[in-house]
Amino acid sequence: MNSPETGRGPSPDPGKDRSARKGGGILQAAREFIYGMAAHDMTRFALKTRSSMEHLFILITMGDMLGVPILPPYYSLRLLPYVVPQISTWKRRMLREKDLMDAIF
Amino acid sequence: MNSVVALIIGFAVALIGYYWYARYFDEKVIQVDRKKATPARMYMDGVDFIPTSKHVLFGYQFKSIAALGPVLGPIISLQWGWLPGLLWILLGTFLIGWIHDYSSAIVSLRNDGETFGALSYKLISPRGRVILLSFMYFYLLLIVSAFGSIVANMLKGTPSVPLAILALMAVGLLSGFLIYKKKMDILLVTVLMVVLSLVAIWLGTVVPIGGSYAVWVVFGLLFSFIGAVLPIWSYTQPINYISFYLVALGMLGAVVGILVGRPDFSVPVFTTYSIGVGPLWPILFVTIACGAISGWHSLVSSSGTARQLENETDTRYVAGGAMYMEMILALIALIIGAATFATFDDYAANLKALGPAGIFAAGLGALLGKLGIASEFGKAFAGAMLVILAITIMQLAVRFMRIATAEIAGEGSPFFRNTYVGAFIAVLLTYILVMTGTWSYIWTLFGGANQLMAALALMLVSIWLAKEGKAWYYTFFPMLFMLITTIAALVLTTRNLIVAASKLSAGAAAPPAGQSVGVAIGGNVISAAIAVFLIIAALLLAYDGLKMFGKARAGKLGKAPAPTAAPAAKA
């Protein structure tokens, strides 16, 4: 699951460390440019796939909060501390109104 | 003209456009604000909305906008001579192309990262969204058809290419397995797979594979069908990933080849006003779409890039810069077409026999030859590169058409929600269009749909600029030009299609090779019907859009709250 600080996992962005990136100069920019062309969309699709799985995971584990008690509340409560860091980004992903054109990029 | 001089002119236009006009528009008209929170920062959800480095986004934007369009359009345009194409590429990008890409991203950026579907609902009308989505379906159908036809022609005409493409399928699947399942080091997998692909291209020159046009059409569609139904990580994305390196190697080889060989243009400056597919105005402006201006870019800028921009000040670099880079790519394609053959007659004969894709493959092969690469391998490599450029977009387009089918028809019947059904309908429609239609008309229709999309994007931007009280004429007049030109091109093409169909039915003309009279008439009628649909959709959207534009100018749409911070300094 996503790291609590940033809401994302292993950095999909090689320039995650902003201060380091600023000092990197042309080589760092070239590296990021190549990554952007070669693999950034792959990273985005991987994140989208993971996000869909997370929707299911949270629905199963925390379902009784949404009125769908799939797991007994005892287990949901045991899992709650692990889910709390995700809630802020998860609710944005889950509740954002989506358009058909979201499927293109 | 010497090819190096053309390249220098291209770079000069790009530098002036980017550092003067784009900077002026960015700072004085839009007034980008570094302190203003972007959707990526406000709504960071770890998936769609992620603040991302501008260099990463520049590469992402360029990769997403550069496909077959900037490569083939300029080569086809050489039938008018090299000057019209060159001028349209340079001036089109300078005056319209970059501002289209840039402002599409800005509008989305200032509207919570919304897609063009949602923006047309909000800024034009509720029916505007429905029309836009229906328009999109046919637009994608034309993309898959135009590209599918090119793939089939290339595979049929260059028997050294099919083995490489088959190998690429295997390499893609293997890459996905090794990266995601076996967790192997991505660098190691990349090197291994790129080398394997190059070996497969070489093997293709030793073991050519023949096949008819119909066989290769089915092959291309099957490739896309598989890409549309399998999980994206297992097939489509690894193929796109490995493909990138082959395409990058090819483009690098082309630039170095031009600089080393410094060939002169053999095509005349100007030939004639009217060619086979129509007169210079309006047909040139839909023949070269990507490379000058393309509606596809507005989709990338809004749905993809705007949601990842960390600062507003990055937009000019990412969207404007990538468009100027694509202009250089189109210029390289123009140079390859203009300088490959000894005379214009050679060019015309090859265009008829091999098509623009064949000319690009032969030209790139010749340029690679100047670097000491065997011509057979160079030609096979260039052919494979071209097929890759087409097929990677085809997969994504069929995937989207599948989702659109489920969305549009799924409420009526659960049958259409089935993954395989949606993808099958998409490839079936494509097959019918490719097998019955005439390639030159399909390409013109594709260009027309693409440019209409651009005009509609510019209309959305103009409405937004007027609503915000900003200088709207920077995008409004380019929008008018694109709208009028493209509708004229589509009307002309519809007329040509109807005339061709009536000539065929009267027995006054012969059908294209491999088609019966009935099939050829059917193809022309289907193409004409699509063109009429595109025209009607565009007119309806233009009517609604212009009405809203008038209201926006009169201040009846209200204005968004002003930015809280002062305008920031330079990007």
Model confidence pLDDT, tens digit, residues B513-539 = 777 888 889 889 999 999 999 999 999
CB B327 within 8 A of CB B69: no
CB B316 within 8 A of CB B571: yes
User: Measuring CA to CA, which residue among B110, B66, B122 is closest to residue B388?
Assistant: B66
> Tens of pLDDT along B416-425?
889 899 999 9
Give pLDDT tens digits along chain A (105 positions). 343 333 333 344 444 455 445 556 889 999 999 999 888 988 888 888 888 888 888 888 887 777 777 777 788 888 888 888 888 888 888 777 777 778 777
Looking at residue B479, its pLDDT comes to 96
Q: Which of A37, A54, A95 to mutate to test the interface with B (most CBs of B within 10 A)?
A: A37
Domains assigned to chain B? 3-553 (1.10.4160)
Helix (H) or strand (E) holding B300: none
Q: How far is B507 from chain A (nearest CA, A)?
A: 44
User: On the CB side of B91, how many CA atoms lie within 13 Å of its CA?
Assistant: 8
Q: Would you call B47 and A51 a contact, using CB atoms and an 8 Å cutoff? A: yes
Indicate the Cα dihedral angle B480, B481, B483, B485, nearest 10°: 150
Output the CA–CA distances (angstroms, integers) from residue B155 to B148, B358, B382, in the order listed: 11, 10, 12
Helix (H) or strand (E) holding B32: none
CB B36 within 8 A of CB B312: yes
Q: Please tell me which of the candidates A36, A50, A103 has its beta carbon nearest to residue B400.
A: A103
Cβ neighbours of A36 in B, within 8 Å: 55-63
Looking at residue B320, its pLDDT comes to 96
Burial category of A94 from C-beta neighbours within 10 Å (exposed 0-12, middle 13-18, buried 19 and up): middle
* A35 → chain B, closest CA residue: B56
Looking at residue B568, its pLDDT comes to 45
Q: Please tell me which of the candidates A13, A89, A104 has its beta carbon nearest to residue B299.
A: A104
Q: Which of B47, B230, B247, B456 to mutate to test the interface with A (most CBs of A within 10 A)?
A: B47
The amino acid occupying position B414 is P
Both tokens assigned to B178: 């090794």
Q: What is the mean pLDDT of residues B216-242?
A: 88
CA-based R_g, chain A, Å: 17
Q: How far is A19 from chain B (nearest CA, A)?
A: 12
* A46 → chain B, closest CA residue: B233
Report the distance separating Cα B143 and Cα B154, nearest Å.
16
- Mean pLDDT computed over every residue of chain B: 90
Report the distance separating Cα B295 and Cα B206, nearest Å.
41
Looking at residue A7, its pLDDT comes to 37
Cβ neighbors of B250 (< 8 A, separation 6 or more) are B364, B381, B382, B385
Cβ neighbours of A26 in B, within 8 Å: none
- For the whole model, what pTM was predicted? 0.89
Report the distance separating Cα A56 and Cα A70, nearest Å.
11
Output the CA–CA distances (angstroms, integers) from residue B511 to B217, B419, B430, B508, in the order listed: 19, 37, 20, 10
pLDDT for residue B112 is more than 70: yes
Share of chain B above pLDDT 70, in %: 98
Burial category of B100 from C-beta neighbours within 10 Å (exposed 0-12, middle 13-18, buried 19 and up): buried
Burial category of B566 from C-beta neighbours within 10 Å (exposed 0-12, middle 13-18, buried 19 and up): exposed
Looking at residue B180, its pLDDT comes to 82
Cβ neighbours of A55 in B, within 8 Å: none
Q: How far is B512 from chain A (nearest CA, A)?
A: 35
Cβ neighbors of B196 (< 8 A, separation 6 or more) are B167, B171
pLDDT for residue B303 is more than 90: no
Looking at residue B563, its pLDDT comes to 45
Grade residue B69 by pLDDT with cuts at 50, 70 and 90.
confident
Q: How far is B64 from chain A (nearest CA, A)?
A: 8
Residues of A with CB under 8 A from a CB of B: 2, 6-8, 12-15, 21, 28-30, 32-42, 44-51, 89-90, 92-93, 96-97, 99-105
Grade residue B433 by pLDDT with cuts at 50, 70 and 90.
very high
CB B330 within 8 A of CB B73: yes
Provide the CA B533 distance to its chain's centre, in angstroms: 21
User: Measuring CA to CA, which residue among B295, B251, B4, B305 is closest to residue B132?
Assistant: B295
Indicate the Cα dihedral angle B501, B506, B507, B509, nearest 10°: -40
Both tokens assigned to A44: 């985005």
* A-B contacts at Cβ under 8 angstroms: 140
Both tokens assigned to B18: 């980017």
For residue B92, the tally of other CB atoms under 10 A from its CB is 25
Looking at residue A6, its pLDDT comes to 39
Helix (H) or strand (E) holding B278: strand B278-279
Looking at residue B516, its pLDDT comes to 84
Sign of CA dihedral B488, B491, B495, B501: positive
End-to-end C-alpha distance for chain B, whole angstroms: 36
Cβ neighbours of A45 in B, within 8 Å: 232-233, 237
More confident residue, A63 or B486: B486
Report the distance separating Cα A95 and Cα B11, nearest Å.
45
Q: How far is B166 from chain A (nearest CA, A)?
A: 21
> Tens of pLDDT along B344-355?
999 998 888 888
Q: Would you call A99 and B49 a contact, using CB atoms and an 8 Å cutoff? A: no
Q: Please tell me which of the candidates A29, A49, A50 has its beta carbon nearest to residue B55.
A: A29
Q: Please tell me which of the candidates B56, B133, B237 has its beta carbon nearest to residue A13.
A: B56
> Tens of pLDDT along B184-207?
888 899 999 999 999 999 999 998
Looking at residue A9, its pLDDT comes to 38
Cβ neighbours of B55 in A, within 8 Å: 15, 28-30, 32-33, 36
Helix (H) or strand (E) holding B345: helix B344-369
Q: Could you tell me the residue ranges of all domains in chain A?
A: 42-103
Cβ neighbors of B109 (< 8 A, separation 6 or more) are B38, B39, B306, B309, B312, B315
Complex prediction ipTM: 0.80
Question: Helix or strand or coil: residue A3?
Answer: coil
CB B74 within 8 A of CB B291: yes
Looking at residue B560, its pLDDT comes to 54
Cβ neighbours of B58 in A, within 8 Å: 33, 36
> Tens of pLDDT along B307-343?
999 999 999 999 999 999 999 999 999 999 999 888 8
Share of chain B above pLDDT 90, in %: 55
Q: Would you call A34 and B47 a contact, using CB atoms and an 8 Å cutoff? A: no
Q: Which of A11, A42, A55, A98 to mutate to test the interface with B (most CBs of B within 10 A)?
A: A42
B278 strand-pairing partners: B275
Helix axes B321-339, B98-109, angle to 10 degrees: 150
pLDDT for residue B448 is more than 70: yes
> Tens of pLDDT along B141-181?
999 999 999 999 899 988 999 998 998 888 888 988 898 88
Q: What is the mean pLDDT of residues B216-233?
A: 90
Output the CA–CA distances (angstroms, integers) from residue B507 to B50, B494, B517, B521, in the order listed: 60, 20, 9, 11
Helix (H) or strand (E) holding B274: strand B274-275
